[in-house]
Amino acid sequence: MKKILFLCLILISLDTHAIDSNKLINLNDLNILFEFQKNDWNENVLFLIKKNSFSKVDNNSDTFYLKSIFNDAQIITMPIFSNNIVEKIKFEYIFEYNNENLKIINDHFKTFKNFCFEYFQKDKSIQVDIFKCN
């Protein structure tokens, strides 16, 4: 139940903006996401999709993806598991982006100690892949 409440808090509500630097995921939240096992993650997603601001994303995987819906954007959270342990987490920020938003995302994720990231630009989104550095 603690993890369910946590997910509700980190993925905020409909009345927020997705790219505000103080609204992006923080280090503590990221650490908790990396503690999930696949079954726990899937159960939490099924619970959260009952809220209007969340939905499940269909994919070709046995892991559910969670879409958070904001006023100006959507964020898809995609954990990648290996042997039931989170190997990396992908966040896809879907919005009409500009260089300022890209800088906010880049600067934000650079502050996370013990985590490495890379990002990829698409037509209307930025995907950030986060993994633990060795």
Diameter of the chain measured on Cα atoms: 38
Residue type, 57: V
pLDDT value of position 15: 43
User: Which stretches of the chain drop beneath a pLDDT of 70?
Assistant: 1-23, 49-56, 58, 97
Q: What is the pLDDT of residues 23-51, one digit of tens each?
A: 688 888 888 899 999 888 878 877 776 66
